[in-house]
Amino acid sequence: MGEVDPAFIQDPEHRPKLSPIQVEGIPTIDLSPITNQTVSNLSSIESLVKEIGSACKEWGFFQVINHGVSLTLRQRLDKASRMFFAQTLQEKKKVSRDEISLIGYYDTELTKNVRDWKEVFDFLAKEPTFIPASSDEHDDRLIQWTNASLEYPSNFRNLIEEYIEEMEKLSFKLMELIAMSLGLEAKRFEEFFMKDQTSFIRFNHYPPCPYPHLALGVGRHKDAGALTILAQDEVGGLEVKRKADQEWVPVKPTPDAYIINVGDIIQVWSNDLYESVEHRVMVNSDKERFSIPFFFNPAHDTEVKPLEEMTNEENPSKYRAYKWGKFLVHRKGSNFKKQNEENIQIYHYKIA
């Protein structure tokens, strides 16, 4: 995974310096009221909506069980992803991303970022995915991102595509619950995702790290999109910064559950009622870790701004509007290259 940069060792800002507190973690929410027709009733759904709203407001994170996604499919996909990462680096690099097609395989060597100790494979939910040619607001050109031509394992692509369908179904259900928890119509967010969505799935592999006190699997960050659905293995390592006291709290792996977090877009749409929360991944010195996040993102031409229903004279818009596609291209391009300045964030659009 590359040598550790000596400058990094001397950089305390990026060293994992906070020990997580061992307390009860993020809420676990049972989705049976919307996935099991035998138990569905109005009162149980209302209770579920309240749970979702509380979790979004207090944590920005929660786990879901009885979510309706096939466990067998998830297990088969996990097995295939492990087979993919077990290949030689030479084979994996055949499906590497580059500065034009930012979808595919990369590792810390390719990104020149030794602080994130992992290797990754990204796959688009919609092919092709239309995005702006550049982050320049005056450039109206569009380009197409396409998926790499996967050859191994032979069933990997089919499993990914089948799994993405399940992730989209779950995403729409969760977005309906979030909308209702905000007092909105259940289908309020649907228009942003029905055409040309920019969602993608990511496969993460965190090899054992000989420098667990110096590196992170993923540094502290917030997710830029709308919603993230994460499947993690039994090794764990994900930590969430608790809003109440800013302490790092470990997310204990729950068999078959999914970890959900609201992204920056929901924070803006809700006009800060719900907050996208910082999280990170700790590395392990002797165990490898695998995870599969699905990033549910709107169409490239979506203008992200606080919803009209979430603003009034007493609570005016807290953000200037921005185009999601331009934002995404800036973030993706900046993540690919070593930057001397901070990447774009939603607080750059905050209204003073």
Domain tally for the chain?
1
Tokens 């996909």 — which residue? 77
- Report d(CA 63, CA 254) in Å as an integer: 8
- H and E: helices and strands count for the chain: 9, 16
The answer on pLDDT for 245 being more than 60 is yes
Tokens of 117: 């100790």
- Asked if the structure places residue 16 within a domain, the reply is no
The answer on pLDDT for 165 being more than 50 is yes
How much of the chain is in helix, strand and coil states, percent to nearest 5?
30, 20, 45
Higher pLDDT pick, 75 / 330: 75
Task: Name residue 240's beta-bridge partners.
Answer: 249, 279
Collapse the DSSP code of 111 into the 3-class scheme (helix H, G, I; strand E, B; otherwise coil) and give the result: helix
Give the total residue count for the chain. Answer: 352
- Cα–Cα–Cα angle for 70, 118, 258, nearest 5°? 25
Using left for φ > 0, alpha for ψ between -120 and 50, and beta otherwise, residue 185 falls in: beta
- Asked if the structure places residue 4 within a domain, the reply is no
- Average pLDDT over the chain reads 88
Strand order in the sheet with 227-232: 28-30, 61-65, 258-262, 227-232, 289-296, 200-206, 119-124, 105-107
Pick from 299, 300, 87: nearest CA to 203: 87
Q: Residue 158 contacts by C-beta under 8 Å, 6 or more apart in sequence?
A: none
Q: What's the confidence (pLDDT) of residue 218?
A: 86
Chain segment 291-323, per-residue pLDDT in tens: 999 999 999 999 999 999 999 999 999 999 999
- Asked if the structure places residue 142 within a domain, the reply is yes
- Asked if the structure places residue 46 within a domain, the reply is yes
15-24, 38-47, 83-92, 198-207: range with lowest mean pLDDT: 15-24
C-alpha torsion 275→271→202→255, nearest 10: 40
Pick from 218, 257, 84: nearest CA to 156: 84
Task: Please report, rounded to a whole number, the percentage of residues in the chain having pLDDT higher than 70.
Answer: 87
11-20, 219-228, 267-276: range with lowest mean pLDDT: 11-20
- Report d(CA 347, CA 339) in Å as an integer: 19
18 pLDDT tier (thresholds 50, 70, 90):
very low
CATH code at position 297: 2.60.120.330
- Asked if the structure places residue 107 within a domain, the reply is yes
- Asked if the structure places residue 222 within a domain, the reply is yes
Mean pLDDT in residue range 264-274: 98
Chain segment 114-161, per-residue pLDDT in tens: 567 899 999 999 999 999 999 998 999 999 999 999 999 999 999 999
- Asked if the structure places residue 2 within a domain, the reply is no
- Asked if the structure places residue 9 within a domain, the reply is no
What is the residue range of 219's domain? 21-349
